Amino acid sequence: MKRMEESRLKRLLERVAAGKLDPAEAVERLRTLPFEDLGFAKVDHHRAIRRGFPEVIFCEGKSAAEIVKIAKNVASRGSNLLATRCAPEVFRKISPKLRGAVYHPEGRLFAIERVKTKRIGLVAVVSGGTSDRPVAEEAALTAEYLGCGTSRLYDVGVAGIHRLLSSWERIREADCIIVVAGMEGALASVVAGIADAPLIAVPTSVGYGASFGGLSALLTMLNSCAGGVTVVNIDNGFGAGYAAATFIRRAARGVAGAEHGRGAAGRPAAARRRARAGRS
């Protein structure tokens, strides 16, 4: 590590060894300690301890050489790596230098899995139209790489509401729902009005002139009269997938403790529905 607050770390460990500091308190302090200064970027190696997931690379605005250097730095620690907004031509330049990197062109992201992630929960990713798929894929792949099971239901927008209703049972199985839509963005309100799972709405920049690059969908989602709609930024599939994974992970932690005292009653509603239907 080129730069780390070594003196602070040494003092911390000496206090633990001398019995002057409780180990649990030391762990809490370590959560804010280490990073590595690469000159152009400071890599946060302890983000997984604080947040539950390693640092993710946002590739736009970075050179191929910078992406490679950050990716190698993260992966060298044995961590899984996720990098978003990576254009195909950029990945072609960097892929020979990153062993094990898998690229998903529609979602414009790549990942390196050093440790196989156990999938928990189920995130339904629902999109309005085919043109919303790149953002929907970014959301779905992010949720998957951060440890969630996913179900994709694409091109089920309000212009043909029967398409959405035909998929309703699959949506109802989900522990969290991500709705991706452009144009007027009404799909999020429709789904939220008849679903009981947390819902994250993603406005996309798909649409004609008066959609203002996604602003129309954003404002519709923010003004939804259906309760419980959480909205992320325009085209931010990553933010939605990350939030969904955080919800699922936190809920699973609470359920694990509750099940000791409450049995099946402590499981999420969607999990109970799947169990009644004979699915795990």
Give me the pLDDT at residue 189, please: 92
Confidence band of 154 (pLDDT split at 50, 70, 90): very high
Query: Rounded distance, CA 41 to CA 38, Å?
Result: 5
Backbone torsions φ then ψ of 103, nearest 5 degrees: -105, 140
Burial class (CB in 10 A: 0-12, 13-18, 19+), 269: exposed
Residue 276 has pLDDT above 60, yes or no: no
Give me the pLDDT at residue 106, please: 94
Residue 24 has pLDDT above 90, yes or no: no
- Percent of the chain at pLDDT > 90 equals 48
Residue 256 has pLDDT above 70, yes or no: no
b/e burial code for range 130-142 (CB count within 10 A of at least 16 → b):
eebbbbbbbbbbb
Confidence band of 84 (pLDDT split at 50, 70, 90): very high
Give me the pLDDT at residue 277, please: 53
Q: In what order do the strands lie in the sheet with 57-58?
A: 57-58, 81-84, 109-112, 102-104
Residue 12 has pLDDT above 70, yes or no: yes
Query: Rounded distance, CA 184 to CA 129, Å?
Result: 12
The overall pTM is greater than 0.75: yes
- Mean of the pLDDT values across residues 248-276? 61
Confidence band of 3 (pLDDT split at 50, 70, 90): very low
- The average confidence (pLDDT) of the chain is 84
Residue 4 has pLDDT above 60, yes or no: no
